[in-house]
Amino acid sequence: MLVPPQAPPSWNHTPEQILKETESYITNGKQLHDKIGAIDQPTIENSFKPFAEFDNENAGISNILTFYQHVSASKELRDASTEAEQKIRDFSIEQGSREDLYKVFNKLFNETKNYDSLTDETKKYIKEINDGFKRNGLALPLEQREKIKEIQKKLSNLSLEFGKNLGEQQEFLLFTKEELDGVPKDVIDQFEKITDDSGEEKLKMTFKYPDIFPVLKYAKNENTRKLAFVGDQNKVPQNEPLLQEAVKLRTELAKTLGYKTFADYILEKKMAKNSETVLSFLDDLQKKLTPLALKEREQLLSLKNKDLKEKGLEQSDQYYVWDHRFYDTLLLEQQYKVDQQKIAEYFPMESTISKMLKIFEKLMNLKFIESIDEKSVWHQDVKQFAVWNTDDGESSPKFVGWLYFDLHPRDGFNKTDDSRQYPVTALVCNFSKPTKDKPSLLKHDEVTTFFHELGHGIHDLVGKTEYAEFHGPSGCSWDFVEAPSQMLEYWTWSKDELRELSSHYETGAKIDDELIDSLIRSKHVNGGLFNLRQLHFGLFDMTLHSINPDTDIAKFWNESREKIALVSSGGVETKGFNSFNHIMGGYQAGYYGYLWSQVFAADIYYTKFKSNPMDTKVGVEYRDIILARGGSKEENDNLKELLGREPNNEAFSKELGLNA
């Protein structure tokens, strides 16, 4: 029996323990930093090494303490975890503003050329620390430094409050059964029944994905879809002033630090380097996508009018934003014979996820062993796996880390010697729970989403860096971080791999060729509109943080959606930015990265995997060059090593049917 050398973390914290351990973490960190800051003659041994060791040893602790806010069923635990994150963020801001530490690391950075024995990763880390102090204003006069620190703390508070409002929101709409005509029975069966003030029994639709997406995709009543879409867009109105204040503070921060815009401040540390590069990329992509998307919209509007005629309703010259998921689904069913409900029958969640793990076992020489121990998980629904590397054969595996799956939504649900700190990775999802008649069945887009998210988990698990700073996805440039998982999405559009993942929930049969072929043919149907939607988010983000930070946010959100994404809201103002957590949770001036990284994802897949997606030799090479290194080397250098050349956009353009 394989025994992991590191026990799984404990998940039995009380609110009091969370706050006590947080205080201990902060106290220990401050004591160490006080000691380092007092050193007159800093060296690698007396300054950098203890600093890095503390970070390595405690990164997992802080991640666990702040994780409960996203997954715990206990509001008290969630609140304590949120408070812990605020305290840790404040501590980080304070320590990042210390002049004594800056002097130590600035001196070390200037002397790294004298240390011949330092690894490239160590040199990079010292540079990152020194740059971090400069980006916190440590090279500026005291008054400006204090102003920057105050702004950073305000921004941290705004980010936490924005995310907490989203995680805690329990808004809903009530519909009659007739208003939900077309929505699959297994979805409706999970809606809570509520008697309204008039005594009529209605069904409660929350704004969680398993509730609202099927309504937008299948409800035949346009007004139902409109109410669902507008309600979802306009939830958490208390977030609007938080975003407005954050944009103003970010602009003020950038100006104080001497940057032209906040986007330039952020992008300096990304692959793109500056806002001009990003805006040029998005503008070029918009020009290429728009003609394709206009044709798609024309076809969908024609389908809409055909549907309206069959229902005896008046024709329309408008294609509304709440129309899109419904008519996109109808087009796939009628013209491409894609029956998403039928396809889902072949992807029961439990067996599909098990088979996904088998793919990673073969592709990257890994082994997943489920561990049944309710004491070492935070909720009874959570699954835990010990993960092993089998490069040297299954008889002598090496421990990799712990993997957790938390798959269903619930209230409040929204990481000094030669020893190794093993990764602990959790995937938190929003899949429907099984009913009394059926297991949880995954739609194909959910299969793709889970494989994507599992890719992030694997990226974290197989990371092998000297320093936690560069480990896994969080250690990469944020405009590259999605590329490995986007690349893996290609497996869920590959015929052999799809068949391997499938198993009918009643018969166990593999999905047939006809269903697979129709699905694969539909891959890029309405792809122009889909990517323009992403481009709308990216340009909205970049406009707030570079072109016009003083813009009327609500007006720009609605006008730019119609202009860029080519869908109308019929004059109804919506405020989807109130739930756009990306630009308050780390992706500010960075949402473009979802499109930017697709270029690399396509290039890797077409060059290395397309001819044989299950080639273990290539999979291990990819694992070791791209995933294991995290951000310890420049991503572009890793790509050149893997591809044997500079990356380019030829595969991306080919995939989308665009001219390069």
Selected catalytic residue, list 128, 240, 252, 453 = 453
pLDDT of residue 417 exceeding 50, the answer is no
User: Per residue in 18-57, pLDDT tens?
Assistant: 999 999 999 999 999 999 999 999 999 999 999 999 999 9
Cα 366 to chain centroid distance, Å, stands at 23
Query: Given pLDDT bands bounded at 50, 70 and 90, which one contains residue 411?
Result: low
User: Per residue in 186-237, pLDDT tens?
Assistant: 899 999 999 988 889 999 999 998 899 999 999 999 999 999 999 999 999 9
* Least confident range of 1-5, 82-86, 150-154, 279-283: 1-5
Cβ neighbours of 407 (radius 10 Å): 19
The CATH code of the domain at 267-343+527-588 is: 1.10.1370.10
Instruction: Identify the pLDDT of residue 3.
Output: 87
CB 510 within 8 A of CB 502: yes
User: Per residue in 431-472, pLDDT tens?
Assistant: 777 888 889 999 999 999 999 999 999 999 999 999 999 999
CA dist 44 and 118 (Å) reads 9
The residue among 548 and 492 whose pLDDT is bigger is: 492
CA dist 272 and 592 (Å) reads 10
Give the domain ranges of the chain: 15-96+98-135, 169-233, 267-343+527-588, 349-521+594-656
Instruction: Strands of 146-215 (E only): list them.
Output: 172-175, 192-195, 201-206
Give residues with Cβ within 8 angstroms of 470, minimum separation 6.
121, 124, 125, 629, 630, 631, 632
**Residue 327: exposed, middle, or buried by beta-carbon count in 10 A (0-12, 13-18, 19+)?**
buried
Query: Given pLDDT bands bounded at 50, 70 and 90, which one contains residue 115?
Result: confident
pTM: predicted TM-score of the whole model, two decimal places: 0.90
Instruction: Identify the pLDDT of residue 414.
Output: 47
Query: Given pLDDT bands bounded at 50, 70 and 90, which one contains residue 291?
Result: very high
Closest CA to 652 of 607, 592, 613, 589: 607
Closest CA to 421 of 396, 392, 400, 390: 400
User: Per residue in 371-406, pLDDT tens?
Assistant: 877 777 888 888 999 999 999 777 789 999 999 998
CA dist 385 and 371 (Å) reads 5
The residue behind tokens 């988990």 is 457
How far, in Å, are 33, 99, 415, 421, 634 from residue 56 at the CA level? 15, 23, 11, 7, 21
Options 3.40.50.2300, 1.10.1370.40, 3.40.50.970, 2.60.120.10; CATH for 349-521+594-656 is: 1.10.1370.40
Question: What does residue 206 show for φ and ψ, rounded to 5 degrees?
Answer: -85, 175
What helix, strand, coil percent values describe the chain, rounded to 5? 60, 5, 35
pLDDT of residue 87 exceeding 50, the answer is yes
Let me know if the fold of 15-96+98-135 is the same as that of 267-343+527-588. no
Mean pLDDT over residues 400-415, rounded? 73
Can you tell me whether residue 168 is helix, strand or coil?
Answer: helix
Instruction: Identify the pLDDT of residue 316.
Output: 97
Domain made up of 15-96+98-135: CATH architecture: Up-down Bundle (1.20)
Can you tell me whether residue 496 is helix, strand or coil?
Answer: helix
Active-site residue 179, yes or no?
A: no
The residue behind tokens 């609202």 is 212
Mean pLDDT score of the chain: 93
CA dist 74 and 129 (Å) reads 37
